[in-house]
Amino acid sequence: MADARALPRRRFDARLVLAGGWLAIALAAAILAPLIAPQDPLAQDLLFERLPPFWMQGAEPGYWLGTDSLGRDLLSRIIYGARVAFIVAFAAAFAACLVGSTLGLVAGYFGGWADRIISRIVDIWMAFPPVLFAILLVAVFGTGLSSVIIAIAVIDWTRFCRVIRAEAMGQARMDYVENAKIAGFGRFRIMVSEVLPNVLPSIVALLSLEMGIAVIVEAILSFVNLSISTDDPTWGGIIAEGRLSIHQAWWVLVFPLITLFLTVLSFSQFGEGLKARFDPVLR
């Protein structure tokens, strides 16, 4: 018979399931975009400009969410825009996580001069407004997907550093760390094998949250034409186009906004759900 104390860990977590489900669908759509997109996202047909979604009068078969002012299929452009969003989310978030978590772990566990130096760098870094800093970096590096990824990673590593530093500082005072020292473990070994596993749930939650932030930043940059080429579909670029024709074709603005909102919200809730499930303290 299963231990009754293990049952709470297996309870249904609607937040985790719903958020993970949406992210899985969006990621699958991004990966399979050439196979599932109903139209070419770049194909223009002015005879089909501003077609409404399929349930409205005047819709055309095959254009499920309608078209924009150039007759491009909106659903196909949103699906292909998901590719850019997920590439930026994964690459930028993992880069920021690797740098920030490593520095935060070192600062929090070792303390002393390492903590003072890293903390001062973080304070200086966070004095710059993040979105303006991102725009400045992209302007310096030039537009392109790699420039957007680098800009986000360069800005957001500080978020990981501050949180993981505080977590590691608290873990360093725990009894299990003292026991490991008594057992003869070296400081580096304790940090990697004892402290790191206990701050890992926070890292996972921050990583998922950072992916959502990266999606937003990329959308902002593409909204102001500082992301990839304007010919390629991005959620921010589609939103910028829809803003200009909101009174004639509201769907061009609304559907990418909904997709962006659900994706960012799902990243946030998925990270919180994972932390609640795997954090040893919460369990």
CA 19 to chain centre: 13
Residue type, 205: A
SS3 73: strand
Residue whose pair of structure tokens reads 């954090």 in the numeric block: 279
Domain ranges of the chain: 80-243+254-278
Cα distances (Å, whole numbers) of residue 53 to 37, 66, 195, 249, 252: 15, 4, 53, 10, 10
Name the phi and psi angles at 67, rounded to 5. -130, 170
Q: What's the pLDDT at 172?
A: 79
Q: What's the pLDDT at 280?
A: 56
CA–CA gap between residue 240 and residue 252 (Å, rounded): 9
Residue (of 157, 121, 155) closest to 135 by Cα position: 155
For residue 174, how many other CB atoms are within 10 A of its CB? 13
Biggest alpha carbon–alpha carbon distance for the chain: 78
> Encoding tokens for residue 187?
């400081």
Contact (CB, 8 A) for 84 and 138: no
Name the phi and psi angles at 226, rounded to 5. -115, 15
Contact (CB, 8 A) for 82 and 24: no
Contact (CB, 8 A) for 268 and 7: no
Per-residue buried b or exposed e for 110-136, using 16+ beta carbons within 10 Å of the residue's own CB? beeeebeebbeebeebeeeebeebbbe
Q: What's the pLDDT at 230?
A: 65
CA–CA gap between residue 17 and residue 11 (Å, rounded): 11
Which CATH architecture best describes the domain 80-243+254-278? Answer: Orthogonal Bundle (1.10)
Q: What's the pLDDT at 125?
A: 87
Q: What's the pLDDT at 144?
A: 82
- Across the chain, which has 283 residues, the per-10-residue mean pLDDT values are 45 82 95 93 89 89 90 94 94 94 91 89 85 80 84 89 89 80 80 85 89 91 80 89 89 95 93 74 54
